[in-house]
Amino acid sequence: MPRPRAIGAFIAAWLSLSAPLVRADWRLNLPAPKSEMAARIYDIHTLILLVCLAIFVVVFGAMFYALFRHRKSAGHAARHFHENTSVEVIWTVIPFLILIGMAWPATKAVLDQKDTANPDLTVKVTGYQWKWEYDYLQDGVKFMSVLATPREQIENKAAKGKNYLLEVDEPLVVPVGKKVRILLTSNDVIHAWWVQELGVKQDAIPGFIRDTWFRADEIGTYRGQCAELCGKDHGFMPIVVEVKSEADYQAWLAGRKARLALAAADADKVFGVDELKARGEKIYAANCAACHQADGKGLPGVFPGLAGSRVATGPAAAHIDLVLRGKDGTAMAAYKDQLNDADLAAVLTYERTAWGNAADAVQPAHVKARRD
C-alpha cells in the first residue's frame, strides 16, 4: 500500500511548509518504516489521520460558519429547534460505519503482530535497571548493552554527539530479512523494549516471559529506548539494533564466540595495576557511575559513596563478595552473572585505587576464588 504513505508524506510536507519555523530535519510523522510491520502501522496511522482530518474539517467548518453567520452582533435571531431524530440517527450511524472501516486493517495487523511462530533466530532480552542483556539462545552468546554516551555530555560539560543518548557499547546484531523472535523478561521492574523503525514494542515483565518479533528489511542501525518508567535512569537505557547481511552477521557471531574464549583465558592471567585500573574505569562508567557517580561520592541518602568508603578501602574479600552478590534490600545488584572475572577484577581495582583510595588491587584469580 504505497498510496496512503505517499499521502502521509504529502501531509507532513504540507504541515512543514505551513509552519514558519520548520527546518528540514524536523520530524512530524512516524519515522520511515524499515520492516513490513512498521510500514503497515504507518499506513494505518495515515488512514486514521486522514479520516479524522476530514471529519474535523466538516464538523468545525459547520461550527465556524455558525459562529460567523449566526452571531448576535450580526443581528441573527435564534431559531428555537432543539431536536431532530433523523439527523441524530444519521450522526450516530455514520461514525459507527467509519469505525468499522478503520478497525478492519487494524485487526489484521494485530493478528500478524502476535504471530511469533517459526522464527529464524531467537534472542532472549532481559531488562535490568538500567541496561539490557541480549542472549542468543542457540549460540551461547550473551552480553550486556549499556548506554555509551559519556556522563560529561549529559552534564553539559562536553559537546553532545550525533547519537546522544541513543548509543550503546554493544548493540544487538541481527541478520537482515530474517524473522527475529524476541523473548523478553526482566530482572527487576517492568521495562519495555522498543525500536520504532522496526515496528516493535513489548513490555519486559519480571517473572514472566513475553515474546514479539520483527523482520528488518534493510541493513542499517536502528535506535530505540526503554518505553516503560523503570526508575531513575529510565531515560538512559537505549536500544540499538544493528542489522547486518547474513555473512556479516555470521562473522560477527564468530568474533563474539572468540571473545568469549579470550575472556575465559583472561581469568587466569595476572595483570598490572595500571592495566586493571584503565580497564576498570570504563566498566565503572558503564555499570556503577549511574548510582555511585563518576566522582565516587554517590548521592547522599540514596546511594552510598565509594571514595574512602569502608568496603572499597577494606579487605578485598568483602568487597569482592558485595559486588559479586549484591546487597539485599538495596538497589545494589549482583554482578556475578553480568561481568566476567577479569572485568570484575578491573572494576574492583579501579574502585580500590581511584579518588584517593589506596587499597590492594584485585586479580581475576581472586574473584574466581570467591565465586563459589
Smallest gap from residue 275 Cβ to another protein (A): 27
Interface with another protein, residue 145, by CB under 8 A: no
Give the integer Cα–Cα distance in Å for 4 and 359: 66
For residues 31 and 255, which CB has a smaller minimum distance to another protein in the complex?
Answer: 31
What letter represents residue 192's amino acid? A
Give the nearest distance from C-beta 76 to another protein in angstroms. Answer: 5
Binding status of residue 209 toward another protein by CB under 8 A: yes
Q: How far apart are CA 24 and CA 21, in angstroms?
A: 10
What mask, x for binding another protein by CB under 8 A, covers residues 162 to 201? xxxxx--------------x-xxx-xxxx-x-x-x--xxx
Q: What is the rounded distance in angstroms from the CA atom of residue 294 to the CA atom of residue 153?
A: 13
Nearest-angstrom CA–CA distance, 140 and 138:
6
Distance (Å, whole) CA 212 – CA 113: 7
Binding flag, residue 96, another protein (CB under 8 A): yes
Burial state string for 238-267 with b = 16 or more CB within 10 A and e = fewer than 16: bbbbbbbeeeebeebbeebeeeeeeeeebb
CA–CA gap between residue 337 and residue 355 (Å, rounded): 27
Q: What value does the CA radius of gyration of the chain take, rounded to a whole number of Å?
A: 28
> Is 290 or 342 the residue whose CB approaches another protein more closely?
290
Q: Using CA atoms, how far apart are residues 48 and 31, in angstroms rounded to an integer?
A: 17
Helix (H) or strand (E) holding 316: helix 316-325
Q: Which residue has the cell 549499556?
A: 146
Residue 153 as a binder of another protein (CB under 8 A): the answer is: yes
Nearer CB in complex with another protein: 21/358: 21
Cβ proximity to another protein, 206 vs 308, nearer residue: 206
Give the shortest CB-366-to-another protein separation in angstroms.
17
Interface segment toward another protein; rule CB under 8 A; list 159-167, 168-176, 340-348, 356-364: 159-167
**Nearer CB in complex with another protein: 145/185:** 185
Only one residue has cell 524476541, namely 182
Distances (CA, A) of 333 to 77, 151, 195, 291: 74, 21, 26, 11
For another protein, the binding residue among 11, 154, 289, 294 (CB under 8 A) is: 154
Cα 82 to Cα 108: distance, rounded to the nearest angstrom: 42
> Which grid coordinates belong to 274?
595500571
Question: Pairing relation of β-strands 172-175 and 238-244?
Answer: parallel
Q: Which stretch binds another protein (CB under 8 A): 45-53, 169-177, 254-262, 267-275?
A: 45-53
Longest dimension (CA), the chain: 95
The only residue of 171, 175, 224, 304 in contact with another protein, by rule CB under 8 A: 224
- The answer to whether residue 260 forms part of the interface with another protein (CB under 8 A) is no
Residues in the interface with another protein (CB under 8 A) total 128
**Which position among 1, 104, 220, 231 is part of the footprint of another protein (CB under 8 A)?**
231
Kindly tell me which of 199 and 304 has the beta carbon lying closer to another protein: 199
Of 114-122, 248-256, 346-354, 357-365, the segment contacting another protein by CB under 8 A is 114-122
- CB 120 within 8 Å of CB 178: yes
Q: Which C-beta is closer to another protein: that of 184 or that of 276?
A: 184
Instruction: Select from 24, 138, 270, 358 the one that contacts another protein (CB under 8 A).
Output: 138
Distance (Å, rounded) from C-alpha 84 to C-alpha 2?
42
| Spatial contact of 107 and 40, defined as CB atoms under 8 Å apart | no
Exactly one of 3, 18, 20, 82 binds another protein (CB under 8 A); that residue is 82
Question: Toward another protein, which CB reaches closer, 99 or 245?
Answer: 99
**Contact set for another protein, span 324-343 (CB under 8 A):** 324-326, 328-331, 334, 336-338
Q: Tell me which stretch binds another protein (CB under 8 A): 35-43, 255-263, 272-280, 342-350.
A: 35-43
Figure out which of the listed residues 2, 20, 107, 356 binds another protein, where binding follows CB under 8 A: 107
